[in-house]
Amino acid sequence: GQQVQQSPASLVLQEGENAELQCNFSTSLNSMQWFYQRPGGSLVSLFYNPSGTKHSGRLTSTTVIKERRSSLHISSSQTTDSGTYLCALEPWYNQGKLIFGQGTKLSIKP
């Protein structure tokens, strides 16, 4: 089965609402990385978060290794947050390689 599963596959919110994106993994990780993919295709690294909680503006990433999950929280969403969010796991057994989830497509309505 898939080693990295993201949920939900898609999410539609009104501007101002909070978004919670989940990433569950079935293998031991060395690190977890979250990316934002713009509608045009380019990838932006949001967080490199092997464990614990990290903040960047309205974004918060939390990785709980024991529970094999990582989450991305977006507070007070804006229309410019629309796009696809990808999590990627660097497995312990194959460091340097990333295994990507299928992504969550986020749409923020004005």
Partner 1 sequence: EAAVTQSPRNKVTVTGGNVTLSCRQTNSHNYMYWYRQDTGHGLRLIHYSYGAGNLQIGDVPDGYKATRTTQEDFFLLLELASPSQTSLYFCASSERAGGQYFGPGTRLTVL
DSSP 63: E
Give yes or no for residue 9 binding partner 1 (CB under 8 A).
Answer: no
Give the interface segment with partner 1, choosing from 12-20, 33-41, 56-64, 71-79 (CB under 8 A). Answer: 33-41
Which range, of 9-17, 64-72, 75-83, 98-106, touches partner 1 by CB under 8 A?
98-106
Report the alpha-carbon distance of residue 41 to residue 80 in Å, rounded. 15
Rounded to an integer, what distance in angstroms lies between the CA atom of residue 50 and that of residue 53? 9
Closest CA to 59 of 38, 92, 35: 35
Report the interface residues with partner 1, using CB under 8 A: 31, 33, 35, 41-45, 48, 86, 88, 96-98, 100-103
